Amino acid sequence: MAEWKEGMVEDQTPALIGLIVNPIAGMGGSVGLKGTDGADILKKAIALGARPLAAERTSRTLSAMSPAAGKFSFIVPPGAMGAGLLDNSEFSYRIAVPNSDQLSGAAATRAAAKAIKCAGASLILFAGGDGTARDLLDALGDSLPLIGIPCGVKMYSGVFATSPETAGHLACDSIEKSHDTELVEVMDIDESAYRAGQLSAELFGYARCPRSANRLQGPKARGQLTHYSAVRSAAAELARNLQPGQIYLVGPGTSAKAILDVLEIEGTLLGVDALSDRTLIGRDLSATEVRAVTKSRSVCLILGVVGGQGYVLGRGNQQIPADVVRKTGRDGLIILSSEEKLAQLAGGKLLVDTGNPTLDEELEGFVRVHTGAGRRMIMQLSAGR
Amino acid sequence: MESKPGKYASIPRKTRRSSPVRKKNRDETRVPSDAIKLRGYHAPVWDEPVVMELGYPGRRGQVYPAPEAKVAKTVGRAMELIPAAMRRDDRPALPEMTEPEVQRHYLHLSQETLGMMGISLFGTCTMKYNSRLGEAVAMRPEIAEVHPLQDERTLQGVLEIIHRFDLILRELSGMDQFVFQAGGGADAAYTQCVVTRAYHAYRGELSQRNEIITSIQAHPCNAATAAAAGFNVVTLPLAEQGYPSLDALKAAVSKRTAALLINNPDDMGIYNPEIKEWTRIVHEAGGLCFYDHANFNGVMGKISARELGFDACMFMLHKTFGAPKGGGGPAVGAYGCTDELAPFLPTPVVTHSGKRYRLDTDRPLSAGKVREYWGNIPQVIKAYAWVRSMGAEGIDEASDLSVLANNYMDKKLSAIRGLERSNPHLNSHRMEMTRWGLGPMKDETGIGTIDVANRMADFGIDPYWMSHEPWVVREPFTPEAGEMYSKEDIDTWVAVIDKISQEAYSDPEIVKSAPHSQAIRQVKGDAFDDPKKWAMTWRAYQRKHGKGGDRA
């Protein structure tokens, strides 16, 4: 039984929150450039009249955090990447990397992230898009929770809050209450290919986020299996039922990798691996290698679902070429996910984008997603057009 | 809805005097919530120890006389009646207290709660007032002092009431036989699963039919009990229309289908109008159809599970039929089925042979028991009293009122900032409850549904029900007024939500740090997830928190 006392909040050292602003994030979007990766594109964007967005959006996040201003202090890079936004504000802050102004762009982001981590920050708020998220992933891996203030043109990664204000609230919640964290996908698309009309998102890794950072995530799923334990129990059941002689291509991501974990096989998290008779026969395969390993063999694909979007093919697993997918057909797709993750997808739909529109349409129909041992959820595969 | 002549012959008609109706031209939903004066409230704070920390060695509440010589001689030593292997070595470690000390302790605890007489629009639970009359009937010695193992010849009165109530539920559902053994709604869903198992086993199809279909918006007990009974579970997601599509159902059924377990309306208050087609598709595949009537209030008197094609259904006597649920019981899941499934029912089944009422245990195909004896009988009696006092027309009218009250509430809530109705693209009205979401408020102010629920208690209002997992709607809450709460109660409840919304946008800290007027301040839920912290027994509490506990 809790003892009732006036003023339950305990005194403690104020939390340290890192803040990194990518000042040019999102500038390409407003002038139709699909992204702002690289100096040339930035120049082009400015020439077309693009205006900086990140500062204004970060200010919205800071306003949302102002009621809790006394409970934490910021640690920031200098100038437009952070300190400039906090001058004359009610927030206390200190500068993490006084010399990093010699760096610019991605290198500056990475240097700032490392310095902020060394200073003992408990999480990092960053304003940017997928490119910025990738820079932070490169610098930190999953060692520190991230919350993205959505500013980019492309935001396929799961680290972004639904609005700048939500990012601020999440940050305050994370320091005031203990929050579970989870690993979410960091994805990015090839901008030049996208400009040429081809969308192909790649999975770059997994960043750590407070659980509620996900679009439709409740703050807790108490008593419910967490995503990974649900997927792992589904994978354990699947492992018992693997067919001899069959080739299983294990797509990237934590969900698909659960089958390798259950079989105690060292595979790759971000690549496509091949299994046959419970042993690894191919690791981190390219499209050509996938074709070679599956040639004249019966194939099944073990896939996960991209959170918040619902892609099972075409985002992060382009190594599996359309002709191999055609061979497996819809019946050869084994999809692992938790009900929690599927519940967030509108209309019960999963998306496929194999790069071959005719095949995408052939794949349309219902599939049974493995959501636990003895648990399936009926989802509709859609070409999303 | 007008009752058809001859409908519900088992439920006595009541001569009802209609109450005078005030006619008003103005739109009542436009009365601003600001115009309602909210009550001030503060809970008493007793800083009450847990009962295990109270008492003094040797103190007693009741001291019993030694048995009379004749009794002692006949029975022998009481201790020797217990088999040696079952006897405990030590006395149980119970607190030793006098009767007034016990009374004082529980009075203090009760004073620290909101009690069950507040405005509790706790959706999916259909909170109702448990009449003192119903209590008085259940407490009569003919009910309270009988034992289920008595000779049935001495139980004729109780069995007659059960049989009569069975007939009433048959009329409300179209089923052929009810049993009351299940100790709650989930237990009744489990009854369906074991009946399904026995039915398919009898037909030699159990090894093939190992899947039970349900929806993501059905009560989680449907999936859980199916799994507990050894079935695989196939879950259907919601389509754009707010309920699962027929195509998804068609994709789910196969020769492996054992049964469909489904609510209608679901917890979002959306009625699936295609339900007859659903039961047809499942039957065509060889499966059974079970109607989980957890949300019966909006449709009672309007539909018949049998006419919609169901083989079985379940009513929760502890919500729909008068007695509110509180503190985890007492509850009864009344389970009814067709004659085809009746041989597989748990035993005993109360039957009537024309002269005598019997407890029929001679049912060789029975699925076995789901619980001891034949049900939580005082609860059945209260439900019977409720039906008799409502009458057939009253039940029809209560259903109308509950849908009306919810739609009145919907209109008022839709004017409050930060709220969003689930499936906002659907314009149709909802049934007896609606799932709402605070997603916009969360985005704009950081205040979510748990914060609002905490703050409600400061106004002396029971916090609402949010949603079963997983959360399909962001930051959900699910109010349900039912037929019992007055317009003033609903107005007050909505005014509290409105007030908290205003606070969220102007002074979010007051909401975030709530409750401020309760006996216990904010409960940090994290301990529930940490096996190192939570304790289900006093011994575990002492082990995890130190001898005597740190009372943290």
Give pLDDT tens digits for A122-134: 999 999 988 899 9
Lowest mean pLDDT among A334-338, B240-244, B245-249, B546-550: B546-550
pLDDT (average), residues B148-174: 96
The reply to whether residue A222 touches residue B529, judged by beta carbons under 8 angstroms, is yes
Contacts of A339 in chain B (CB under 8 A): 216, 235, 470
| Final residue before a domain boundary, out of B350, B371, B386 | B386
pLDDT tens column, B292-301: 999 999 999 9
Label each residue of A79-98 as H, E or C: HHHCHHHHCCCCCCEEECCC
pLDDT tens column, B197-209: 999 999 999 999 9
Contacts of A178 in chain B (CB under 8 A): 524, 526
What distances in angstroms separate CA B306 from CA A204, A366, B7, B303, one per listed residue?
55, 30, 15, 9
* A380, closest residue in chain B (CA to CA): B248
Is some CB atom of chain B closer than 8 A to the CB atom of A257?
Answer: no
Tell whether B271 and B147 lie within a shared domain: yes
Helix/strand/coil for B532: coil
Q: Are A75 and A100 in contact (CB under 8 A)?
A: no
**Residue A197: its pLDDT value, please?**
53
Contacts of B266 in chain A (CB under 8 A): none
pLDDT reading at A170 higher than 90: no
- Smallest Cα distance from A234 to chain B, Å: 12
CATH code of B282's domain: 3.40.640.10
| Position A322, amino acid | A
CB atoms closer than 10 angstroms to residue B64 = 6
**Residue A222: its pLDDT value, please?**
36
Tell whether B270 and B214 lie within a shared domain: yes
Tell me which of A4, A62, A162, A369 to substitute to probe the interface with B (most B C-beta atoms closer than 10 Å): A4
What distances in angstroms separate CA A138 from CA A75, A110, A135, A148, A365, one per listed residue?
20, 7, 5, 15, 38
pLDDT reading at B33 higher than 80: no
- Phi, psi for A143 (deg, rounded to 5): -80, -15
Distance CA B409, CA B413 (A): 6
Give A176's pLDDT tier (boundaries 50, 70, 90). Answer: confident
- Smallest Cα distance from B230 to chain A, Å: 9
- Percent of chain B exceeding pLDDT 90 equals 70
* A348, closest residue in chain B (CA to CA): B237
Give B131's pLDDT tier (boundaries 50, 70, 90). Answer: confident
**Residue B314: its pLDDT value, please?**
97
- Smallest Cα distance from B469 to chain A, Å: 7
User: Which letter does DSSP use for residue B460 in this model?
Assistant: T
Q: Are B311 and B290 in contact (CB under 8 A)?
A: yes
Tell whether B353 and B312 lie within a shared domain: yes
Give B41's pLDDT tier (boundaries 50, 70, 90). Answer: confident
- Smallest Cα distance from A109 to chain B, Å: 27
User: Which letter does DSSP use for residue B180 in this model?
Assistant: E
**Residue A3: its pLDDT value, please?**
41
User: Which letter does DSSP use for residue B97 in this model?
Assistant: -
pLDDT mean across residues, chain B: 90
Per-residue burial over B73-95, b = 16 or more CB atoms within 10 Å of its CB, e = otherwise: eeeeeeeeeeeeeeeeeeeeeeb
Distance CA A128, CA A54 (A): 7
Residue numbers of the domain that contains B533: 526-552
**Residue A214: its pLDDT value, please?**
39
**Residue B526: its pLDDT value, please?**
64
User: Which letter does DSSP use for residue A120 in this model?
Assistant: T
Q: Residue B490 contacts by C-beta under 8 Å, 6 or more apart in sequence?
A: B121, B405, B408, B409, B412, B481
pLDDT reading at A119 higher than 60: yes
Asked if residue B16 belongs to a domain, the reply is: no
CB atoms closer than 10 angstroms to residue B168 = 22
Place of tokens 């975030």: B512
Tell whether B173 and B256 lie within a shared domain: yes
The reply to whether residue B525 touches residue A168, judged by beta carbons under 8 angstroms, is no
Asked if residue B28 belongs to a domain, the reply is: no
Q: Which residues pair with A203 in a beta bridge?
A: A187
Tell whether B80 and B144 lie within a shared domain: no
Give B121's pLDDT tier (boundaries 50, 70, 90). Answer: very high
CA-based angle B509:B456:B36, to the nearest 5? 105
The reply to whether residue B470 touches residue A339, judged by beta carbons under 8 angstroms, is yes
Write the Ramachandran bin of B173: left for phi over 0, alpha for psi from -120 to 50, otherwise beta: alpha
Contacts of B522 in chain A (CB under 8 A): 8
Tell whether B171 and B101 lie within a shared domain: no
Of A65, A63, A22, which is closest to residue A171 (Cα–Cα)? A65
Contacts of B474 in chain A (CB under 8 A): 216, 218
**Residue A212: its pLDDT value, please?**
57
What distances in angstroms separate CA B208 from CA A240, B200, B203, B234, one per listed residue?
19, 9, 11, 15
Contacts of B475 in chain A (CB under 8 A): 218
**Residue A385: its pLDDT value, please?**
59
Helix/strand/coil for A195: helix
Please state the domain count of chain B. Answer: 3
The reply to whether residue B248 touches residue A178, judged by beta carbons under 8 angstroms, is no
Q: Are A316 and A276 in contact (CB under 8 A)?
A: no
Lowest mean pLDDT among A196-210, A213-227, B105-119, B368-382: A213-227
Tell whether B81 and B172 lie within a shared domain: no
Q: Which residues pair with A303 in a beta bridge?
A: A335
- Smallest Cα distance from A181 to chain B, Å: 13
pLDDT (average), residues B66-88: 89
Asked if residue B461 belongs to a domain, the reply is: no
pLDDT (average), residues A328-338: 95
**Residue A7: its pLDDT value, please?**
37
Distance CA B257, CA B208 (A): 8
pLDDT (average), residues A163-167: 82
- Smallest Cα distance from B99 to chain A, Å: 23
CATH code of A15-213, in short, is: 3.40.50
pLDDT tens column, B434-443: 999 999 999 8
- Smallest Cα distance from B240 to chain A, Å: 5
Contacts of B442 in chain A (CB under 8 A): 166, 169
Q: Which range, A66-80, A349-363, B126-140, B274-288, is most confident?
A: B274-288
Distance CA A29, CA A282 (A): 40
Q: Provide the chain A residues 207-226 that lie in CB contact (below 8 A) with chain B.
A: 216-224
User: Which letter does DSSP use for residue A355 in this model?
Assistant: S
Contacts of A380 in chain B (CB under 8 A): 247-248
Tell whether B171 and B236 lie within a shared domain: yes
pLDDT tens column, B353-368: 988 999 999 999 999 9
The reply to whether residue B50 touches residue A1, judged by beta carbons under 8 angstroms, is yes
Contacts of A220 in chain B (CB under 8 A): 525, 529
pLDDT reading at B485 higher than 90: yes
Nearest neighbour of A348 by CB, restricted to B248, B469, B519: B248
**Residue B327: its pLDDT value, please?**
53
Asked if residue B402 belongs to a domain, the reply is: no
Asked if residue B516 belongs to a domain, the reply is: no
Is some CB atom of chain B closer than 8 A to the CB atom of A8?
Answer: yes
pLDDT tens column, A136-151: 999 999 999 999 998 8
The reply to whether residue B235 touches residue A380, judged by beta carbons under 8 angstroms, is no
**Residue A4: its pLDDT value, please?**
37
pLDDT mean across residues, chain A: 83
pLDDT reading at A216 higher than 50: no
Is some CB atom of chain B closer than 8 A to the CB atom of A181?
Answer: no
**Residue A9: its pLDDT value, please?**
41
Give the H/E segment covering residue B551.
none
Asked if residue B348 belongs to a domain, the reply is: yes
| Final residue before a domain boundary, out of B356, B386, B416 | B386
Q: Are B379 and B329 in contact (CB under 8 A)?
A: no
Lowest mean pLDDT among A165-179, B59-73, B307-321: A165-179
Q: What is the ipTM of this complex?
A: 0.87
- Please report how the helices B449-456 and B487-506 are oriented relative to each other, as an axis angle in degrees rounded to 10: 120
- Smallest Cα distance from A165 to chain B, Å: 6
Contacts of A371 in chain B (CB under 8 A): 235
pLDDT reading at B189 higher than 50: yes
Q: Are A81 and A24 in contact (CB under 8 A)?
A: no
Asked if residue B15 belongs to a domain, the reply is: no
* B520, closest residue in chain A (CA to CA): A4
Is some CB atom of chain B closer than 8 A to the CB atom of A70?
Answer: no
A102 burial type by CB count under 10 A (0-12 exposed, 13-18 middle, 19+ buried) = exposed
Tell whether B173 and B67 lie within a shared domain: no
* A6, closest residue in chain B (CA to CA): B521
pLDDT reading at B15 higher than 80: no
Nearest neighbour of A67 by CB, restricted to B448, B509, B552: B509
Helix/strand/coil for B110: helix
Q: What count of CB pairs under 8 Å joins A to B?
A: 124
Contacts of A172 in chain B (CB under 8 A): 446
| Final residue before a domain boundary, out of B386, B408, B427 | B386
The reply to whether residue A224 touches residue B470, judged by beta carbons under 8 angstroms, is yes
Nearest neighbour of A374 by CB, restricted to B232, B240, B472: B232
Q: Are A237 and A370 in contact (CB under 8 A)?
A: yes
* Preceding omega of B346 cis (within 30 degrees of 0): no
Distance CA B254, CA B277 (A): 16
**Residue A70: its pLDDT value, please?**
87
- Percent of chain A exceeding pLDDT 70 equals 83
The reply to whether residue A376 touches residue B234, judged by beta carbons under 8 angstroms, is yes
Give B118's pLDDT tier (boundaries 50, 70, 90). Answer: confident
**Residue A5: its pLDDT value, please?**
41
pLDDT tens column, B487-520: 999 999 999 999 999 999 999 999 999 999 998 8
Asked if residue B428 belongs to a domain, the reply is: no
Distance CA A322, CA A313 (A): 10
The reply to whether residue A343 touches residue B237, judged by beta carbons under 8 angstroms, is yes
Nearest neighbour of B525 by CB, restricted to A162, A220, A345: A220
A247-250 and A299-303: which strand pairing? Answer: parallel
* A9, closest residue in chain B (CA to CA): B513
Place of tokens 């589904």: A234
Distance CA A220, CA B478 (A): 17
pLDDT reading at B173 higher than 50: yes
A279-282 and A311-313: which strand pairing? Answer: unpaired
- Percent of chain B exceeding pLDDT 70 equals 92
CB atoms closer than 10 angstroms to residue B68 = 9
The reply to whether residue A348 touches residue B244, judged by beta carbons under 8 angstroms, is yes
Place of tokens 């069959």: A246
- Phi, psi for A119 (deg, rounded to 5): -75, -5
Going from N- to C-terminal start, the domains of chain A cover 15-213, 227-382
User: Which letter does DSSP use for residue A154 in this model?
Assistant: -
